[in-house]
Homo-oligomer: A and B are copies of this chain.
Amino acid sequence: MRGRDPAELVERAAGGDRAALARLLTLVERGGDGARQVARLAHQRAGGAYTIGVTGAPGAGKSTLTHALVRHLRQDGRDRHEVGVLAVDPSSPFTGGAILGDRVRMTGHAADDGVFIRSMASRGHLGGLALATRDAVRVLDAAGFGLVVVETVGVGQVEVAIAGAADTTVVVVSPGWGDAVQASKAGLLEIADVLVVNKADLGGAEAAVRDLENVLQLVGPSPGRWRPPVVVTSAPAGTGVAELWQAVTGHRAALEATGELDARRRQRLATELREVVLRRLEDQAATAAGLGSFDALVDEIVAGRLDPWSAADVLLTFTQPAAGERSGPPPPG
Contacts and interface: CB of A to CB of B under 8 A. Distances in A.
User: Chain A contact residues: over half helix, strand or loop, or mixed?
Assistant: helix
A154 to B, nearest CB: 14
Copies of this chain per assembly: 2
A43 B304 contact: yes
B311 A273 contact: yes
Given A298-B266, A319-B316, A39 B307 contact: yes
Contacts of A246: none
Contacts of A265: 302
A36 B36 CA distance: 34
Contacts of A326: 310, 313, 317
Contacts of A297: 273
B280 A316 contact: yes
Contacts of A308: 39, 43, 269, 272-273, 276
Given A43-B307, A215-B218, A276-B309, 16 more contacts: A39-B309, A43-B308, A46-B304, A185-B220, A185-B222, A266-B298, A270-B295, A273-B315, A276-B308, A277-B312, A310-B326, A310-B327, A316-B320, A316-B321, A317-B321, A317-B326
